[in-house]
């Protein structure tokens, strides 16, 4: 993964920390998260802010992206569909952390709707990958059986 291929905001000087990754909802692109990322960038100018597009095409909205396949509101096999999307996002996050020199504890996922579902599931399935999740209008695909290691903010 090359950071140049991902919409991003970087600090002017020095090494970035923390890392914020913004995950849009289904039927959108990274551009949907620009205003949120800009607000966080104003508050945390030394942070790296990455806005990737979802990794799968959204069949319901031509030209738009999603994080996992399936219709919005279709909860059949939701946990399985979400789980199938996690490996690519885990690889993306680890690459970004390595390239930017940011620790998992200093990594935050900010997800909206479908992006929030994926962010919550990442924190549950890979407890040492992120330190914080901000979930806007999302929920768990599978309720956790234990308290998450990451700090979770449900908005």
Render pLDDT for 68-122 as a digit per residue (tens, 0 to 9): 988 756 677 899 999 999 999 999 999 999 999 999 999 999 999 999 999 999 9
- Establish how many alpha carbons lie within 13 A of residue 96's alpha carbon, considering only the half-sphere containing its beta carbon: 33
CA proximity to 109, closest of 18, 43, 12: 18
Cα–Cα dist 103/147, whole Å? 21
| Structural contact between residues 72 and 114, judged by C-beta atoms closer than 8 angstroms | yes
The yes-or-no verdict on residue 1 having pLDDT over 80 is no
Q: The tokens of 141 are what?
A: 């695909």
Q: How confident is the model at residue 59 (pLDDT cuts 50, 70, 90)?
A: confident
Report DSSP state, residue 28. Answer: B
The chain-wide mean pLDDT, for the chain, equals 93
Hey, which bits of 6-120 come out as E strands? 7-9, 19-23, 48-51, 56-57, 65-66, 107-112
| Structural contact between residues 118 and 25, judged by C-beta atoms closer than 8 angstroms | no
Cα–Cα dist 30/23, whole Å? 7
How confident is the model over 140-147, as a mean pLDDT? 92
């Amino acid at each position: 993964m090359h950071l140049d291929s991902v919409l991003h905001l970087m600090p002017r000087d020095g090494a970035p920390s923390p890392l914020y990754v913004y995950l849009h909802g289904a039927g959108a692109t990274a551009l949907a998260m620009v205003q949120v990322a800009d607000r966080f960038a104003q508050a945390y100018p030394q942070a790296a802010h990455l806005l990737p597009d979802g990794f799968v095409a959204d069949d319901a909205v031509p030209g738009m992206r999603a994080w996992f396949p399936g219709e919005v509101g279709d909860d059949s096999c939701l946990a399985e569909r979400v789980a199938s999307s996690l490996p690519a996002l885990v690889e993306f996050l680890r690459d970004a952390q390595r390239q930017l020199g940011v620790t998992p504890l200093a990594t935050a996922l900010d997800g909206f709707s479908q992006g929030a579902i994926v962010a919550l599931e990442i924190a549950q399935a890979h407890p040492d990958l992120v330190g914080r999740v901000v979930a806007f209008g999302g929920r768990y695909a599978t309720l956790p059986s234990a308290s998450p290691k990451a700090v979770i903010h449900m908005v």
